[in-house]
Chains A and B, each alone.
Chain A
Amino acid sequence: MVYDAQHALELPEVAAWALGALDTGDAASFEQHLRSCEQCQDQAAEFAPVACSLPLAAPTAEPPPDLELKVLAAVRYAVMAGSRTEPAPEPERRPEPVAPKPGRASKASRWWHFHWTNPLLPVVTALGAAAVTAAVFIGVHNFQSAAPVVAASYNLRPQPGQVGSATATARATASGYEIQLTAKNLPKLGSGQFFECWYAGPDNRSGHKELISGGTFASSNGSFTMWTAADLDTFKVMQITEEQAGKGSQQGKIILSGTAQNVHDDS
């Protein structure tokens, strides 16, 4: 049926009727009209599913601005922790050793295959042993030199009214930082509570959170290893808060706080 705009303007009640927004008297009058008006029947048929869709609408809630950072940090944490549970790839199949062909002479057929009667064998063996020893020594030295560099250290002090202290070092790795945190005399935790480590950005303040979660622990004393992909040059402040299970963002009180000190900073 061709849409009759004039008719629709004369009887816009069809939209309100579909929404259930006509009062009893108006609804009864309109339904009387609807029985004999094909234009309004068609329009009502179009509006009815629209009205039915409204209860499905997701809420208007907007995600907090730092949620993207949290998502990326959470995935990087998982990557670093290697917590993937995919099936392991099948090991490579090594080729079967080839048996020597019958009738082949026992004499070494390749220049690197020293025959046991070769008088140079002891010399070569000694040189080889020395080379292996040197290689191991150099390898160990290089490994020790390549240990993760301490990128920053923290001295966390209690906030007013709080107790405890902590120190932390951040070591750079290929995909972020390894944090070694040592806490002492933090408050005793209640049921369902835990401590959470946070990295705060320069614009972090009440009502405008700029935070990345760095991991959790549940002991008032001890050493804990955590991982983060946060840019510690930007998120310089480390905070330890007391949190309750079931909450998804920083809601507990700040127990300790400290600013990253760069060990290479001469100031």
Chain B
Amino acid sequence: MAQIATGDVGGPLAALYGRYGRRLFRFGVQHLSDQGLAEEMVQETFVRLWRTAGRFDAEKSSVGTYLYVIARSVAADIRKRPSSRPLMSVEDADVPPIPDSVDQILDSVIVREAFDTLGPAHAEVIRLAHEEGLTQQQIADRLVLPLGTVKTRTFHGMRALRGALIERGFRGV
């Protein structure tokens, strides 16, 4: 941050992007419902980071937290712009609210990263149950698997997911 504050933006910014860029982009997509606006949010977040780097106090927060605070503010500004709101019906206007805290932002990316560590077999049965609301029997029919196999995969997948969440410091388990 000290280097960025002095105007040395190449290497230090690339390092920060490497560490936080993907999480910021996913946060942007989640809360702006548009990949183009998420890209814009990420760019503006780093520009504002440069602008305020001189005021960053490492004793008060980590760089990651600071970035997420800025990202949250940028996302809120983008959502306020009339040109950012796509034309859609009232029923489709299901854009989630901006999280109230950085912890909530971090939770969402932690959960996604934890889920991404699951093997495909475990991830698939959990995804079908959670995202598509299928019962175990429906999942067994969809994947052409014995019901017992689906139950066992779901059980072990949930155990693996719990372990991955604990490993990443997720507050909710």
Within 8 A of A (CB), among B43-78: 43-44, 46-47, 50-52, 54-55
Q: Are B172 and A52 in contact (CB under 8 A)?
A: yes
Question: What's the dominant secondary structure at chain B's contact region?
Answer: helix
B37→A248 contact, CB < 8 A = yes
Count of chain A residues near B, Cβ 8 A: 53
Q: Is the CB of B135 within 8 A of A21?
A: yes
Instruction: Tell me, rounded to whole Å, the shortest Cβ–Cβ distance linking B63 to chain A.
Output: 15
B-binding segment of A73-81, A103-111, A177-185: A73-81
B115 surroundings in chain A (CB, below 8 A): 54, 57
In the complex, A71 Cα to B22 Cα: how many Å?
12
Contact across chains for B30 and A58 when beta carbons are under 8 A apart: yes
Chain B contacts with A in 116-173, Cβ cutoff 8 A: 116, 126, 129-130, 133-137, 139, 151-152, 154-155, 157-159, 161-162, 165, 170, 172-173
User: How many Å lie between the Cα of A251 and that of B18 in the bound state?
Assistant: 26
In the complex, A85 Cα to B47 Cα: how many Å? 12
A79 to chain B, nearest CB (A): 6
Chain B residues with a Cβ closer than 8 Å to the other chain, count? 66
Is A31 an interface position by the 8 A CB rule?
no
Q: Is A49 an interface residue (CB 8 A)?
A: yes
B46 touches A74 (CB 8 A): yes
A263 → B minimal CB distance (Å):
27
B136 touches A26 (CB 8 A): yes
B3-28 interface mask toward A, CB cutoff 8 Å, 1 = contact, 0 = none? Answer: 00001011001100110011101110
**Interface check A4, CB cutoff 8 A:** no
Contact of A79 among B9, B35, B109, B151 (CB under 8 A): B9
Residue of chain A at shortest CB distance from B162: A50
**Contact for A21 among B34, B136, B170, CB less than 8 A:** B136
Main secondary structure of the interface of A (DSSP, over half): helix
Contact B25 A18 (CB under 8 A): no
Report the bound CA distance from A70 to B41 in whole Å.
11
Contact of B42 among A26, A59, A67, A84 (CB under 8 A): A67
**B37 neighbours in A (Cβ, 8 Å):** 246, 248
User: Which chain A positions have C-beta within 8 A of B52?
Assistant: 86
A54 partner residues in chain B, CB cutoff 8 A: 111, 115, 126, 130
- B80 in the interface (beta carbon within 8 A): no
Residues of A within 8 A of B55 (CB): 86
User: B81, B116, B173: which has the most chain A beta carbons within 10 Å?
Assistant: B173
Q: Is A83 an interface position by the 8 A CB rule?
A: yes
Residue A63 interfacial (CB < 8 Å): yes
A61–B33 Cα gap in the complex (Å)? 11
The A130-171 residues at the B interface (CB cut-off 8 A) are: none
| A58-B108, A84-B51 given; A74·B44 CB < 8 A | yes
Q: Are A246 and B139 in contact (CB under 8 A)?
A: no
